[in-house]
Structure 1
């Protein structure tokens, strides 16, 4: 019995040490940027049909949940090289336990920091800076963004909601899904209604 308990303690200690080393190395070195930045850029470019530019890729851990931090993210049109989206920082927060349970990546939160955004919501469409995100936020069972919070911090926002136009400077808010509808939690804003 003592051998079983000591073996369990040993395996548990090795697992904890491995997790600690992974977190320590990924947070305090540029190894993640060096190994994965180009791979992530290529995969994203394939999925969204836009050119992607990232200055740096970092990792921060919130407990056992990793956050990928993209510094100076820019999305460009492949045709005319026009800037579609530019953000000082873009953060993707993953839910480790839910990802393991569902056996696919689960994104808990996406955060745009200091970004100029143009959102159009009309006829079941959700368009962000000319990118149609309707499919990503649809209520399909296996959709990667179904339960994801969208956080916008210290940004400028132009919103066209059902043909009503609004403009916000230095806005911070969270868009999240509760039951079958989306809710918005506003932090602070200066609003100007455009006629």
Structure 2
């Protein structure tokens, strides 16, 4: 007899077997947890197709990273829900960025009134300041920021693209943005 979905021992056993490559154990783990993972993604995203995509991405992550689960840090369900929640939030951020860039593109390509020379000079100076400040960052910080902000990648996409752990990418970008902010403020003075 299999345990109930709340039976942590059963889920731990199934996850450990999945880490060893047991497809049947992973299928059973999926059957026991899918409703909760999907429910969480749907509540966060409020969109069925996005929730389904996040669930699919999450289960791929669970399969690939099952060996990294640490029972000392929480239950299997909490580990799974935390990952699914993070992926859902990342999806929201990605969608917002996509919409914002679409609006910016539309605005930028609309009929542009003539810009006074003073504004053109100020924009040029701001661009030069930003370039100088980007040049002062470490290569790793600059590359991560450029991938995220200029190429439109989400943090998990940057992590995957650079084969770097997600927490490291988040720290690099956070520290780089702090340095940029400080540099720009210093340059403005």
Pick the structure with more helix per residue.
Answer: 2
TM-score, structure 2 length as denominator?
Answer: 0.31
Higher relative contact order (CA 8 A, sep 6+): 2
The structure with the larger Rg is 2
